[in-house]
């Protein structure tokens, strides 16, 4: 499968060895990283963007950035943490561009397109919990996306976001409490 990466029968190389092959120009190794981490990265990006097409574009941007920056990996974190950090930066950059209003554009009527909350509900299958998560502040939604959607350990979430594990725990606790309040408010309606 991977040109520069010899494999023992049935034993997959460690992520750092695969990333080293990417740094050496092995395109198949990039495909291997995608096979290993693409699904979790996509789930995280979908939760951040609320739009399947945008999430796919950000994932492509992430893979291009990995291809270009693989040689700069310094192993201060795991390869997976490094990949999620790149995905996060790509997402924030893309979402900032998307949310910036066009200077000459004036809208005098309501937009019929679905908003971020509706997109989040659609992306998650339309559950009430997903709708509540979609209404959380960005810093809570991002922690939920990394810890619960992508399934990353709290230490990795902390590394990706550049915050302490205690702060991750606090944000998760507050996000869960907010979701419970939002769901209770929906039931009362």
Domains of the chain, start order: 13-100 (1.10.1740.10), 119-189 (1.10.10.10)
Instruction: Give, as one character, the DSSP assignment of residue 125.
Output: T
Is residue 55 pLDDT above 60, yes or no? yes
**What is the mean pLDDT of the segment spanning 21-31?**
95
User: What does the pLDDT read at residue 49?
Assistant: 86
User: What does the pLDDT read at residue 187?
Assistant: 79
CA 126 to chain CA mean position, Å: 20
Q: Could you tell me the pLDDT band of residue 113, with boundaries at 50, 70 and 90?
A: very low
Query: Quick check: helix, strand or coil at residue 58?
Result: helix
CB–CB of 4/29 below 8 Å?
A: yes
Burial of 13 (0-12, 13-18, 19+ CB in 10 A): middle
Distance, CA of 3 to CA of 14 (rounded, Å): 15
pLDDT tens-digit map of 60-98: 999 999 999 999 999 888 999 999 999 999 999 998 887
Q: Taking Cα atoms as reference points, which of 34, 143, 19, 142 lies closest to residue 79?
A: 19
């Amino acid at each position: 499968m991977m040109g520069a990466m010899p494999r023992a029968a049935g034993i997959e190389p460690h992520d750092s060895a695969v990333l080293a092959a990417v740094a050496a120009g092995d395109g198949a190794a990039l495909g291997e990283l995608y096979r290993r981490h693409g699904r979790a990265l996509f789930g995280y990006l979908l939760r951040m963007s609320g739009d399947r097409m945008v999430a796919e574009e950000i994932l492509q941007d992430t893979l291009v950035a990995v291809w270009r920056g693989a040689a700069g990996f310094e192993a201060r974190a795991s390869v997976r943490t490094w990949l999620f950090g790149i995905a996060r930066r790509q997402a924030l950059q893309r979402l900032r561009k998307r949310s910036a209003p066009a200077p000459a554009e004036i809208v005098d009527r309501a937009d019929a397109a679905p908003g971020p909350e509706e997109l989040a509900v659609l992306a998650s299958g339309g559950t009430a919990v997903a709708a509540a998560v979609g209404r959380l502040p960005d810093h809570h939604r991002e922690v939920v996306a990394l810890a619960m959607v992508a399934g990353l350990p709290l230490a990795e979430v902390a590394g990706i976001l550049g915050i302490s594990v205690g702060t991750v725990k606090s944000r998760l606790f507050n996000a869960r409490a907010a979701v419970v309040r939002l769901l209770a408010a929906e039931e009362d309606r």
